[in-house]
Structure 1
Amino acid sequence: MIHALSVASEAYPLVKTGGLADVVGALPDALAPHGVATTTLLPGYPKVLAHVGDADVVQHWPSLLGIEARLLAGTLGDHPLLVLDAPALFAREGGPYGDAQGRDWDDNWRRFAAFSKAAAEVAAGSVGERRFDLLHAHDWQAGLAPAYLRFAGGAQGVRSVATIHNMAFQGSFDAGVFPALELPPHAWGIEGVEYYGAVGLLKAGLWAADAITTVSPTYAQEIRRPEFGMGLEGLIASRGSQVTGILNGIDPAVWNPATDPLLAARYSANSLDARRANTRAVEARFGLTGDGPIFTVVSRLTWQKGMDVLAGLLDELVAMGGRLAMLGSGDAGLEQAFRDAAARHPGRIGVEIGYDEPLSHLLQGGADAILIPSRFEPCGLTQLYGLAYGCVPVVARTGGLADTVIDANLAALDAGVATGVQFDGVNPDALRNAIARAVALYRDAARWRQMQRRGMAADFSWGNSGARYAALYRELLG
């Protein structure tokens, strides 16, 4: 049995801002059938502390980077959970990384450096009888954990994996914080935490870890190029075959239209007519009238997601006969652009600003197609949910979107393997043509239904991904 410590800043269902939480929450179950026992370590945010309640204290730090902290033991589902209870760092209103106005906490460097240092010590066996073979660090918030292990001399054989969920978020901080990290002086350098004259938390993890993974095979190749590597492409290239892509999965216990309690009506690939009740529910929720395919967007409204390009095409989407139900939040200008479009096209465009987990399920179960025009997408989960729910993805050909959606070209349609629409280049012409293709395919009811059924038949559960992570762990441990 391999004992792994999974270190992350969020995990579903306790705390979630994006796909990272879904992955971290699903990994323990995905790895268990393959002989891996996973303990998850999370920061002690208020909601996490409320979950563990009156938990056992298994470790105490009088000064963890100058902050008093305790380690609490609980459970996450059927698996062990450890929580770093450091009120000075994590007992705050707002989100995991910033205040209620979306401003990053000024001391995020200390918050997540302390979290990473605690993780390295726990992985190395500082807590009672707990012993770990491997530390798995997720994104920049846990990036220093492999570095702390490395500068502690490998911590008695504990190996480490760093997973990049999104290279755009790197955790870069002023060089002046370095002395407070309690790393040896020689850690300040290219072989360490230094990154273009700053402290780079993700960079430190990518340099120190024994293996690097990304969340799709295509993204693992893309980040070797400047347009996707965002300054770290040289480091990624230097790691060579130690960088691999393992596609994220989805949890069929949560995302399954045949059993989903959040839908107006449950259905399967063999009972797609029942899906119409969900479509009616979406129309009622968003005030949509008339006919034509309902496109949905469930996304952060950001440049990365290509929402600026989509916002400029909403009038044309309506002119083509389409409708739109949008759920998301992000850039204030983009939020207003979608609101303005809804005002121009009442009954054809409906917008809800924010995030609503039950509503996201209903949109996948009731909309006809989901638009994902991302400029880059490490994996993406919404297209996987769309495939599982018969909500046909219309996606840019990048990252995990390219790996999971089969374009409806003539050959794929004739072979009966198409599952969505892909397009190259996130620009108005390319996205306009993709929307037009989707509208035309929707009007061919037989082919549309064939695409829905093919997507619903695909297996994107965690079974294969869990096996690949377990194989990587075993390879590292020899």
Structure 2
Amino acid sequence: MIRVLFATSEVYPMVKTGGLADVSASLPEALCRLEYDVQILLPGYPDALKAARKAGSRRKVRFQLGQYNVSLWQTRLPGTAVTLWLVDCPPLFDRPGNPYKNEQGKDWWDNAHRFELFGKVGAMIATGEAGLAWKPDLVHCNDWQTGLIPVFLEPYRARPGTVFTIHNLAYQGLFSHETFRALGLPDSLWRLEQLEFHDQLSFIKGGLVFSDRITTVSPTYALEIQSPEFGNGLDGLLRHRQHALSGILNGIDTRVWNPEEDPELAFHYGQDHLKNKAKCKASLQQELGLEVKGGPLMGFVGRLVDQKGVDWLLSVMPELLEQGCQFVILGSGEDRYEEPLKQLARRWPGQMSLTLGYNEGLSHRITAGSDLFLMPSRFEPCGLNQMYSLRYGTIPVVHGVGGLVDTVQDPLDVGIDKANGFVFTGASAESLLATVNRALLVFANRKQWRQLQGNGMATDYSWKQRARTYGDLYQCILKEREQ
């Protein structure tokens, strides 16, 4: 049985800011069902440690790492048999709220120190130096917060195999040269082909340079990030390592996201019995103070940031509201997007609902109750919400980038018999509006709309096959290291 340490900075339900948390929960469990021994490593955030203690967990080991006393707690990921290790270091991780930012929305000043220590602990477990009875054959690192683990493992001749997954290349873990010095990293790493990036320390380059293999979360995004447009300055490095780079589409947890059994819904429905979907819509309208009517209801769940195309959405909403469309928005982000959304909500009571922040239950009800789900992202490595919406018979309207174009098929491209949503290719508000209006024409045709819903709900979005692909990659890495 192959043993895998899955290092991540968030995992649902312990901590979540985005899709990384969902993937970090569902992929390890899917791999465990395929008889891989996958154990998760997570920083010891307060809520995670509290849940572990409540579940009866105890410290397994303690050790000194520099100036810090560190403990490792062993528990289970709630609702699963997956082992979860928590890195308990109160001075670095015992902080409220967001794992990366303070209450003012600013990055914690010592994020480099926090995730450098996390990386060292990951490497200690991987080399058997942490005092655990368990030692991995391979370490699976995720995003910049884990980027130093392959760096710390590099000097070890008999080290485990390593794979680094890019969930979003826009977040790179960039810090000053002074921070590089403060961390005490070897001077040899301060080179363009190592960790230096435009006179800054880049955590993500640790994963991209030193890992045996690199993956990202969709085939199209794997190609996009090798171009200047999507490469965020790292496209040259990724082209250099393209032989080690592959795109594996994310899956979703189809037990958590299941309209036939979802505990967050008042009514349940499936592909062959869609009647209750209309009841979910009416229930959502009532919950959020919208007028209960049958016209098109459009949902958006996500961060209110430039990446998500919120400015395009803001440009088209007034015209669509004038047409009688309703909007349900859930998310948080930059003031320049939150404020105009607040103004629209005040101007259009009964037609628009805005909920700032994040609410897992409400996100399920928006997915079930909406007719259309909008994802006008400028770039989208994979996206999970479009797969959630497809599973729930809610038709996505997406920008043709990354994982969105890998999962959504437009009637103009494949015909109504095979389509499951709508894709716009022009990077503009005008292109978004034209595609939404095209979707509304199909919405008015009940038979064609049901065809789209059925096509989306019939597709398998689970991790089953995709976890096998990761398993094959693990085995390939280990065979290569044996040679």
Aligned residue in 1 for 2:321: 318
Which SS does the other structure have where 2:104 is aligned?
A: coil
Aligned partner letter, 1:428? A
Distance 1:326 1:431 in 2: 17
- Is 1:389–1:456's contact at 8 Å kept on the other side of the alignment? yes
Distance 2:181 2:350 in 1: 58
Aligned partner letter, 2:46? P
| 1:144 lines up with 2:148 in the alignment | yes
User: TM-score of the superposition, structure 1-length normalised?
Assistant: 0.96
Give 1:70 deviation, angstroms: 1.4
Aligned residue in 1 for 2:360: 357
| 1:239 lines up with 2:266 in the alignment | no
Give 1:33 deviation, angstroms: 3.3
CA distance change for structure 1 residues 411 and 5 in 2, over 3 Å: closer, same or farther?
closer
- Is 1:320–1:439's contact at 8 Å kept on the other side of the alignment? no
Distance 2:40 2:72 in 1: 12
Give 1:409 deviation, angstroms: 1.6
- Within 5 Å, give how 1:71-470 maps onto structure 2: 71-76=72-77, 77-126=80-129, 127-150=131-154, 152-154=155-157, 156-289=158-291, 290-409=293-412, 411-413=414-416, 416-470=417-471
Aligned partner letter, 2:198? Y
Distance 1:18 1:397 in 2: 21
- Is 1:321–1:439's contact at 8 Å kept on the other side of the alignment? no
Equivalences, count: 473
Aligned partner letter, 2:444? R
Which SS does the other structure have where 1:205 is aligned?
A: helix
Aligned partner letter, 2:70? A
- Is 2:126–2:159's contact at 8 Å kept on the other side of the alignment? no
Distance 2:85 2:42 in 1: 6
Q: Deviations over 1:297-326 (max 9, x none)?
A: 111111100001111111111233321111
Which stretch has the larger CA shift, 402-411 or 293-302?
A: 402-411
Distance 1:128 1:369 in 2: 49
Aligned residue in 2 for 1:17: 17
Aligned partner letter, 2:449? W
Q: Deviations over 1:136-180 (max 9, x none)?
A: 110001111111111x234x1311011000011000000112234
Which SS does the other structure have where 2:460 is aligned?
A: coil
Give 1:198 deviation, angstroms: 1.1
Aligned partner letter, 1:55? S
Which stretch has the larger CA shift, 425-434 or 5-14?
A: 425-434
Give 1:212 deviation, angstroms: 0.4
Distance 1:411 1:88 in 2: 55
Q: Deviations over 1:199-243 (max 9, x none)?
A: 100111110100000001100000001111101111111001211
Any stretches of 5+ residues in structure 1 without a counterpart?
none
User: TM-score of the superposition, structure 2-length normalised?
Assistant: 0.95
CA distance change for structure 1 residues 186 and 271 in 2, over 3 Å: closer, same or farther?
same
Which SS does the other structure have where 2:302 is aligned?
A: strand
Percent sequence identity is: 42
Structure 1 outlier segments of 4+, above 4 Å: none
Distance 1:15 1:418 in 2: 35
Which stretch has the larger CA shift, 455-464 or 337-346?
A: 337-346
Which SS does the other structure have where 1:9 is aligned?
A: coil
Distance 1:317 1:140 in 2: 39
- Is 1:374–1:426's contact at 8 Å kept on the other side of the alignment? no
Distance 1:350 1:70 in 2: 44
Any stretches of 5+ residues in structure 2 without a counterpart?
none
Distance 1:241 1:295 in 2: 41
Q: Deviations over 1:70-107 (max 9, x none)?
A: 12222212011111100110011231011122111000
CA distance change for structure 1 residues 410 and 45 in 2, over 3 Å: closer, same or farther?
closer
Aligned residue in 1 for 2:37: 37
Give 1:190 deviation, angstroms: 2.5
Which stretch has the larger CA shift, 380-389 or 350-359?
A: 350-359
CA distance change for structure 1 residues 3 and 448 in 2, over 3 Å: closer, same or farther?
same
Distance 1:60 1:180 in 2: 24
- Is 1:249–1:462's contact at 8 Å kept on the other side of the alignment? yes
Aligned partner letter, 2:149? A
Aligned residue in 2 for 1:55: 57
Which SS does the other structure have where 2:308 is aligned?
A: coil
Distance 1:192 1:260 in 2: 46
Q: Deviations over 1:300-359 (max 9, x none)?
A: 111100001111111111233321111111111211111211222222222111211111
Which stretch has the larger CA shift, 52-61 or 14-23?
A: 52-61
Aligned partner letter, 1:438? A
- Is 1:163–1:215's contact at 8 Å kept on the other side of the alignment? yes
Aligned partner letter, 2:51? H
